[in-house]
Amino acid sequence: MSLPVRIPARTLTAISGAPVPVPDPDCLIHLQFRRFAGCPVCNLHLRSIAARHDEINAADIREVVVFHSSAVELRKYTADLPFAVIADPTRTLYREFGVESAPRALLNPRAWPTIVRAVAAELRAARTPGHIRPPTTPEGGRLGLPADFLIAPDGRVLASKHGDHVDDQWSVDELLNLAPTRELPR
């Protein structure tokens, strides 16, 4: 599926209730599509984004993360993230942006080292009082694939990536390298 050259303007609602304009007239948007609420691999990736959030903001990029889970489920796992989290349990945005689910999400051998690291991190975290374990039967299933989009203030998609497996998304360094170094027309 090919995306339009420009993303039509809309306002999403974060699970916090805050409005999230996409595109944002004041900065770039890194629109991330992740899997389900509590996904251990997604949690590893999002913690790396949160750890470098100041650098991302300094590059004039706003993080917006979409999950195919309900807001109720997401609130259990994402309260401490410093960016907008969007619930899309009907996968409306997933369809619009061509984000898929497939068995290769977990079966691709390139994902296995990260799956092992994520499970190990989850086992360590499970010993923490108040820790909420990932769901055994997540909303929308376990086979979601990640996707990333960098959207300019005028709605142009500057870059995109549809992942081939669960751990196939932009790193913070890749994201920062994709951001234009000059002022974009608004």
Q: Answer yes or no: is 31 within a domain.
A: yes
Q: Answer yes or no: is 113 within a domain.
A: yes
Q: What is the mean pLDDT of residues 71-77?
A: 90
Q: Which sign does the torsion angle of CA 97, 48, 82, 15 carry?
A: positive
Q: Answer yes or no: is 175 within a domain.
A: no
Higher pLDDT pick, 111 / 82: 82
Sheet holding 157-162, edge to edge: 84-87, 61-67, 28-33, 147-151, 157-162
Q: Answer yes or no: is 172 within a domain.
A: no
| CATH code (residue 156) | 3.40.30.10
Q: Answer yes or no: is 159 within a domain.
A: yes
The DSSP output letter for 6 is B
Residue tagged 């142009």 (tokens) = 156
Range of the domain at 155: 10-164
pLDDT of residue 39: 83
Q: Classify 167 in phi/psi space as left (phi over 0), alpha (psi -120 to 50) or beta.
A: alpha
Q: What is the mean pLDDT of residues 12-35?
A: 96
pLDDT of residue 20: 97
Count of domains for the chain: 1
Over residues 84-102, the pLDDT tens digits come to 999 999 999 999 999 987 7
Over residues 114-143, the pLDDT tens digits come to 777 877 777 777 777 876 777 777 777 778
Task: Please say whether the beta carbons of 166 and 111 come within 8 A.
Answer: yes
Q: Answer yes or no: is 184 within a domain.
A: no
Share of the chain above pLDDT 90, in %: 54
pLDDT of residue 140: 73
